Structure 1
Amino acid sequence: MSEWRDRDPAAVVDDVDRPVLLFDGVCNLCNGLVRFVVRFDAEGRFLFAPLQSDVGRELLRRHGRPTDDFDTMLLVEDGEYYEKSTAALRIARRLDGPLPLLYPLVYLPAGLRDRVYDLVAENRYRVFGKTDECPVPEPEIRERFANRTLE
């Protein structure tokens, strides 16, 4: 996947064959979440792309989402996108350990689940801080980023 770096973002997106987690690349909480998912995704099921990246924006555009709104995590899976708590629960469902046990929470009303999600999202910079730019991931997970500008 390191060959993705030099390709047009649309071509990269065309070749993606795994779920992609889109996240706010400057958010410390979001970057911690990516590291958490990597830790509990031993099979490497997920790819990652910062919402601010060319690939992230291309995925947003293809799903009719604003390309300048970075307030939610999105999961692009099998041609569909999921956001907020639904995305988080769909991710948990595919992780190792006891995390899939959280998936039945998807049957709670989305409005209730998303209120909790929105509360965390609204305060994430204040509580966890943010960086000036998306950090380059560690070498052991860099290949899982569907982003052509990592190096």
Structure 2
Amino acid sequence: MIIVFDAQCLLCNGWVQFLLRHDKREQFRFASMQGRCGQALLNAAGLPTEGLQTLLLVDGERSWQHTAAILHVLHRLGWPWRLAWLAWPVPAPLRDSAYRWVARHRYRLFGRSEACLLPAERWRHRFLD
């Protein structure tokens, strides 16, 4: 599974760091939306390559965005992260509107880096760009 994320967003970088620490089975690989692979995956999913306000989870031909992507990722991490599925009964429009609000304001709330995330050597094999 590949997670396409905004490498300039400090919230997104924190999410990737969290996954690198907790994904013991190394199920996830990462592509920044600013990179060549990330751009290709966004195009394949029919998403804009500029101004995107979601992360994208890609598993072969399937993909998820917004809270569905987050819930699928947390499910794959196993216990206790699977408890996130308790949020699934909340209607997607409500979950996703909160997600989109945070995404729209992520730079103001969490900051922005002018340089993309450079992973530690031990994790470089998990990044596509």
| Category of TM-score, reference length = shorter chain | over 0.9
TM-score scaled by structure 2?
0.93
Q: Which residue of 2 aligns with 1:89?
A: 71
Q: Distance in 1 between matches of 2:64 and 2:86?
A: 16
User: Larger Rg: 1 or 2?
Assistant: 1
Unaligned stretches of 5+ residues in structure 2: none
Amino acid at match of 2:74: A
Query: In the alignment, which residue of structure 1 is the partner of 2:26?
Result: 44
* Cα distance change of structure 1 residues 55 and 29 upon mapping to structure 2, 3 Å threshold: same
Q: Offset of 1:74 from its aligned partner?
A: 0.8
Q: Which residue of 2 aligns with 1:64?
A: 46
Identity of aligned residues (%): 38
Measured in 1, the distance between the counterparts of 2:61 and 2:67 equals 19
Output the CA distance in 1 between the equivalents of 2:51 and 2:103: 12
Aligned to 1:122: 104
Instruction: Give the Å deviation of 1:64.
Output: 1.5
Q: Which moved more, 1:114-123 or 1:37-46?
A: 114-123
Q: 1:59: Cα distance to partner? A: 0.6
- What is the match of residue 21 of structure 1? 3
CA distance in 1, matches of 2:51, 2:104: 13
> Aligned pairs, how many?
129
